[in-house]
Structure 1
């Protein structure tokens, strides 16, 4: 198998590939899920980013503007990424796509320049691979999985929320026209960033939670939000939500389990929060982020997920 074959395989096919000598362990299957928080898919041919990275209140932010901004009013949209961050070409293209729909997009560096651990190697096993080589490959993938788990554990609310508050504070000064035009800030989030759309949608924020930025707000920071295949979400993240939300979810997602999702749906329903939840079967975690897959069904789902999220923020 060539490197190109490995790069273009969908992660679920990695996990399901048949081998008469050995089958992937649970750890290696889980690694297929983790990879999409930290590793980009191949960038679609002929596409590139058009925005730039600027500083807002000391935070690096990728900004993408509609071609006719500021002559034509635009709404402000925060785009919160997974572990590939703001220097990922795919994430930048994703921001540009929203900008082409009339949003002024700010994509902040949530991780302070720290790159999530990842790699190009993906576990596979076939009859041409010796048992020793397979054992070595498994060991590498298990080590990667451990490193990513450790990295995700460090991506905490205490670290990320002050960064977001700094960017929001600067946006109110630099792009007040866009916030006024949209009557608030909109947000979309992917993977790790998806959880922080939920936190920005919460209805109360105590001053002690954000002493560094000094922002105090008694309501949600966003007017509406959409999130795709979020990671590290807990049931408590669904409590006290006060902004309408759209969720793109993956069926049997190890990083956002069906159990947590169902609890979240119950909480949002009990709280009479306007929301929608769409569960996509047969797709890998991370599928909604710009990137190339060989399987046409995954590419179709990627388009549908984007249309779902775009329609939600446009309609609210």
Structure 2
């Protein structure tokens, strides 16, 4: 875990969806398509972060899906206002925070929420940003039953992703990869583009030269290169979900 997982910019805008609960777990929802759903798995700023909710609104409108942003930090969120304040980052106890929100702790509830969506929608996709990147790979893993938890995934600058999770993917997968990323390293990038094509699943690798970890969810809307990168990343993911989730 490094400062790149906290740095960035909070976007202006008022999310248009609403909050709901499932077994005392909060989630944000946008859209109302009974057939198609997308689960959006948040970064370290959690499910209340305005940026992730604005993205959910946009995906709901453009994909034509119901988009869910569940809380996978047990009600705990990092305050969005610290995003441009490294002095405040130093006050956080990130090792303890991550211990409370490790893969072992959160993977079961992430799986449970995907199972819940399967009961409500015919087609389900998942996109993970930063922290959420490892989670969507687990959701898209091959299963013995032959019925995956989701129908396709996208991962934007994933954090904590391991080679075993890449190798286990069993559904169409898209990766959004900036050039500079201490979490999704050059080694992991090379491994993904080498190994995934051997797995027999559709694969889309979107590379963003000059951009940094977190750009697609915490990019600077005053920076032309980052604006273009954010817009391209959104378009790519939207096209991906329309390709694999929306059946004419």
TM-score (norm. length: structure 1): 0.69
Distance 1:263 1:291, change over 3 A: closer
Task: State how far apart, in whole Å, the 2-side matches of 1:172 and 1:204 are.
Answer: 15
| Paired positions, count | 242
Give the C-alpha shift of residue 150 in structure 1: 4.8
Equivalent of residue 168 in structure 2, options 240, 244, 252: 240
Equivalent of residue 69 in structure 2, options 107, 114, 130: 107
Task: State how far apart, in whole Å, the 2-side matches of 1:262 and 1:273 are.
Answer: 17
Q: Is the 8 A contact 2:140 2:171 kept in 1?
A: yes
Give the C-alpha shift of residue 82 in structure 1: 0.4
Does residue 147 in structure 1 map to residue 72 in structure 2? no
Higher strand share: 2
1:1-316 alignment, distance < 5 Å: 30-31=2-3, 33-36=4-7, 41-44=9-12, 47-65=13-31, 69=32, 74-101=35-62, 102-116=64-78, 119-120=82-83, 122=85, 143=90, 147-173=93-119, 175=120, 179-180=121-122, 184-204=123-143, 218-289=146-217, 292-316=220-244
Gaps of 5+ in 1: 1-26, 124-136, 206-216
Task: State how far apart, in whole Å, the 2-side matches of 1:87 and 1:117 are.
Answer: 9
Task: State how far apart, in whole Å, the 2-side matches of 1:153 and 1:282 are.
Answer: 32
Distance 1:60 1:169, change over 3 A: same
Task: State how far apart, in whole Å, the 1-side matches of 2:28 and 2:220 are.
Answer: 22
Larger Rg: 1
Gaps of 5+ in 2: none
Q: Is the 8 A contact 1:43 1:89 kept in 2?
A: yes
Distance 1:278 1:149, change over 3 A: farther
User: The residue matched to 2:161 in structure 1 has which SS?
Assistant: coil
Distance 1:117 1:265, change over 3 A: farther
Q: Is the 8 A contact 2:5 2:214 kept in 1?
A: no
Q: Is the 8 A contact 1:202 1:219 kept in 2?
A: no
Task: State how far apart, in whole Å, the 2-side matches of 1:249 and 1:222 are.
Answer: 21
Q: Is the 8 A contact 2:111 2:139 kept in 1?
A: no
